[in-house]
Amino acid sequence: MTNNYKFLNNINFPDDVRKLSQSDIKVLADEVRKELIDVVSETGGHLGAGLGVVELTVVLHYIFNTPHDKLIWDVGHQTYPHKILTGRKNKIRTLRKGQGLSGFTKRSESEYDPFGAAHSSTSISSALGIAVANKLSNKSSNIIAVIGDGAISAGMAYEAMNNAGASKTKMIVVLNDNDMSIAKPVGAMRKYLAKILSGKIYFSFRETFKLIISAFSKRFKNKAGKAEDFLRSAVTGGTLFNSMGFYYIGPIDGHDIDTMVSVFNNAKDIDYDGPILIHVKTEKGKGYTFAEKSEDKFHGVSKFNIKTGEQLKSISKIPSYTKVFANSLIKHAEKDSKVVGITAAMPSGTGMDLFGKKFPDRMFDVGIAEQHAVTFAAGMATEGYKPYAAIYSTFLQRAYDQVVHDVAIQSLPVRFAVDRAGLVGADGPTHAGSFDITYLSTLPNFVVMAASDEAELVRMINTSMDINDRPSAFRYPRGNGVGVQLPEITEKIELGKAKIIKEGKKVAILNFGARLQECILASKNLKKKGIDITIIDARFAKPLDENLIWQIATEHEVLITIEEGSIGGFGSHVSQFLSEKNLLDSNLKFRSMILPDRFIDHDKPELMYKFANLDSIGIENKILDTLNSKVLIKKSN
């Protein structure tokens, strides 16, 4: 810690927070906010969400006896202040770095993280599970789940509330309402929360009744509570949360420490056999002018200058894969009015914000609801539209049942733009696109493509436009392309047709995806050792280019497949084909290079691929080893 704080320097765990006076924790909150800004300016990461919950975080640890009381955060973007207060203050500058702290809650990192969370809308379900388990074990700990207004729009949150309301199990759900998730939240829930906030008459009547109730003896409190419920219904028409079985409190100011201390104390001590929902109104980016004024409230940032707010981003003239996708789709949409774009609360991350600016009536942000997004796209496809569902690989996993039943079985031409394919760096294993090749290419009626560079991505988008009898997917990595010239939108690929990059002898590499440049580099180094290899860009995991695979399998001693995915993907399909054709019984040495069978911790992407042996040195060593060479290349640390 570089700053000399009045209180924070001596705060190591929440027990230290609970030793302070109520006035002191207001100063502590200011210090946590200052430290958070200072830290993220050095490390980059998620800033706005954490700034919005500084006071809430301090109060929750002040009132509740964590870690005995379980505090569960949704997503994890908002947990940096929580980490500062829970024994990780001195490591906070290792955030999202190799061997450092995770950017999300992580059970193996701290006892103060009772449930890991990087995807959204899981907090109420997991909290209810913990609460019911404690009830069965006669444990008395409080269970608190903090969920954002964007996350509560997801179907899983509704399912959890429905179950929690009927379970008669005490737990506290804190709805952090900042009118922002990553982008502006969408849908009826946002409008509903806004309606509650505008109902000031309800809040004033409620405060009046609280005073009345406090004057009653215990034997009259139940009747007073019923009168309050009647008033609540009379003034607001009831609340969604009450109708689902929750005792609703709020909305309250999430930056007013005195109010929150009072409310959470009461919620902790209240004799109520059921779930309680406390609606807290916060401001994302609170306390840092540049974050408050930013369109995304500084959600995810690179290193930045605290005084100017300027982010220190590397400047590249090479466009990102995401931008190439968005611009190509816009060009197609200009020519074809049936092209529509769909995103699940990630318009800027997927490039759908660019598409939406051009075609506001043809871009649909459905909120944090990937399952709905996929079936919504399927519905549009039945009416002759060409839906492009742009979803990160890791988030598409959440909608796999819908991909199978609502898209694949019905052979509907939904186009999946699978962004963030492969290893993604600082966000770690929860956000890695490791499994989409496997879980998509195993499905009948699917076309599965992977771009080796940004030009191939354009060709795949172009090709997908004409796939009208079945679903298709094209995957591409995070970050910038390799700097090749982009083709016109008329240039397409024959379905299932691979591309020969270079021809050699003895060894053939069949690459699927963005490891192609590493294959080329490995080839150049091996040529110096007298090993000239064939390189093929497979392009398709499904359908396979069976003719070309047959040819290279019969003409080479070694065949190696390479992909940025798990076991069961492209290499498995090639192996199955070779086995069926009895080619594995010949003298062919077949190897498949895939991601290792473990979750890879966050680090720089190049180091993660080095660990996975999917860099050029790993490829060279695999080839030398397969050729039974004893001369392996040592990796530098």
Q: What DSSP letter does each residue of 446-482 carry, written as one string?
A: -EEEE-SSHHHHHHHHHHHTT--SS-EEEE--SSB--
The tokens of 427 are what?
């966000």
Conformation bin of residue 64: beta by default, left when phi > 0, alpha when psi is -120 to 50: beta
Task: Determine, yes or no, domain membership for 633.
Answer: no
Domain CATH code at residue 617: 3.40.50.920
Do 451 and 335 share a structural domain? Answer: yes
The pLDDT tens digits for 300-329 are 788 888 888 888 777 788 999 999 999 999
Long-range CB contacts (within 8 A, 24+) of 405-408: 406/374, 406/375, 406/378, 407/374, 407/377, 407/378, 407/381, 407/471, 408/443, 408/444, 408/445, 408/446, 408/471
The pLDDT tens digits for 114-142 are 999 878 889 999 999 999 999 999 998 99
Do 448 and 327 share a structural domain? Answer: yes
Going 60 to 66 to 72 to 77, the CA torsion angle's sign is: positive
Q: Give how far Cα 477 sits from Cα of 323, 417, 599, Å.
A: 12, 11, 18
The one-character DSSP state at 636 is P
d(CA 333, CA 327) in angstroms, rounded, equals 10
d(CA 257, CA 521) in angstroms, rounded, equals 58
Residue 53: the pLDDT is 94
| Between 637 and 287, residue with greater pLDDT | 287
Among 105, 122, 195, 119, smallest CA distance to 161 is for 122
Do 393 and 297 share a structural domain? Answer: no
Taking residues 442-464, report their average pLDDT.
Answer: 97
CB 362 within 8 A of CB 340: yes
Do 332 and 260 share a structural domain? Answer: no
Task: Determine, yes or no, domain membership for 350.
Answer: yes
Among 537, 534, 540, 539, smallest CA distance to 522 is for 534
Do 515 and 425 share a structural domain? Answer: no
Among 115, 26, 129, 130, smallest CA distance to 74 is for 115
Could you give the angle at the alpha carbon of 99 between the alpha carbons of 98 and 101, nearest 5°?
A: 95
d(CA 367, CA 373) in angstroms, rounded, equals 8
d(CA 447, CA 55) in angstroms, rounded, equals 49
Do 95 and 37 share a structural domain? Answer: yes
Other CB atoms within a 10 A radius of the CB of residue 111 amount to 11
Among candidate residues 442, 475, 508, the one where a domain is terminated: 475
Other CB atoms within a 10 A radius of the CB of residue 99 amount to 8
Residue 238: the pLDDT is 42
How does the average pLDDT of the chain come out, rounded? 88
Do 359 and 279 share a structural domain? Answer: no
Domain CATH code at residue 339: 3.40.50.970
pLDDT at 235 over 50: no
Do 417 and 544 share a structural domain? Answer: no
Q: Catalytic: 323?
A: no
d(CA 108, CA 106) in angstroms, rounded, equals 6
The pLDDT tens digits for 541-582 are 999 999 999 999 999 999 999 999 999 999 999 999 999 999
Q: Which is the catalytic residue, given 284, 286, 297, 539? A: 284
Q: How far is CA 315 from the centre of its chain?
A: 25
The pLDDT tens digits for 136-157 are 999 989 999 999 877 888 889 9
Residue 2: the pLDDT is 64
Backbone angles phi, psi at 216, to 5 degrees: -80, 150
Residue 483: the pLDDT is 95
β-sheet bridge partners, residue 147: 175
β-sheet bridge partners, residue 253: 281
Residue 194: the pLDDT is 57
Q: Provide the number of structural domains found in the chain.
A: 3
Q: Which domain holds residue 534?
A: 499-626
Using DSSP, state whether 396 is helix, strand or coil: helix
Q: Catalytic: 223?
A: no
Among candidate residues 256, 271, 301, the one where a domain is terminated: 301
Q: Give how far Cα 597 sits from Cα of 12, 393, 429, 531, 612, Å.
A: 36, 18, 12, 30, 10
Task: Determine, yes or no, domain membership for 226.
Answer: no
Q: What is the pTM of this model?
A: 0.86
Q: Which is the catalytic residue, given 398, 475, 515, 539? A: 398
Residue 186: the pLDDT is 55
Q: Catalytic: 557?
A: no
The pLDDT tens digits for 356-367 are 999 999 999 998
Task: Determine, yes or no, domain membership for 73.
Answer: yes
pLDDT at 438 over 50: yes
pLDDT-above-90 percentage for the chain: 69
- The pLDDT confidence band at residue 233, using thresholds 50, 70 and 90, is very low
Do 346 and 265 share a structural domain? Answer: no
Do 547 and 420 share a structural domain? Answer: no
The one-character DSSP state at 406 is I
Do 326 and 297 share a structural domain? Answer: no
Torsion of CA 222, 227, 228, 233, to 10 degrees: 130
Task: Determine, yes or no, domain membership for 212.
Answer: no
Among 74, 48, 50, smallest CA distance to 146 is for 74
β-sheet bridge partners, residue 45: 301
Q: How far is CA 210 from the centre of its chain?
A: 41
Q: How many Cα atoms sit within 13 Å of 421 on the Cβ side?
A: 32
Among 332, 366, 321, 329, smallest CA distance to 347 is for 366
Q: What DSSP letter does each residue of 517-536 carry, written as one string?
A: HHHHHHHHHHHTTT--EEEE
Residue 188: the pLDDT is 61
pLDDT at 236 over 60: no
End-to-end C-alpha distance for the chain, whole angstroms: 29
Do 540 and 463 share a structural domain? Answer: no
Task: Determine, yes or no, domain membership for 490.
Answer: no
In sequence order, the 6+-apart residues with CB closer than 8 A to the CB of 598 are none
Q: Which amino acid is at 266?
A: N
d(CA 86, CA 89) in angstroms, rounded, equals 7
d(CA 315, CA 167) in angstroms, rounded, equals 54
Task: Determine, yes or no, domain membership for 267.
Answer: yes
Task: Determine, yes or no, domain membership for 250.
Answer: yes
The pLDDT tens digits for 263-283 are 999 999 888 889 999 999 999
Q: Which amino acid is at 560?
A: I
Q: Which is the catalytic residue, given 55, 283, 370, 454? A: 370
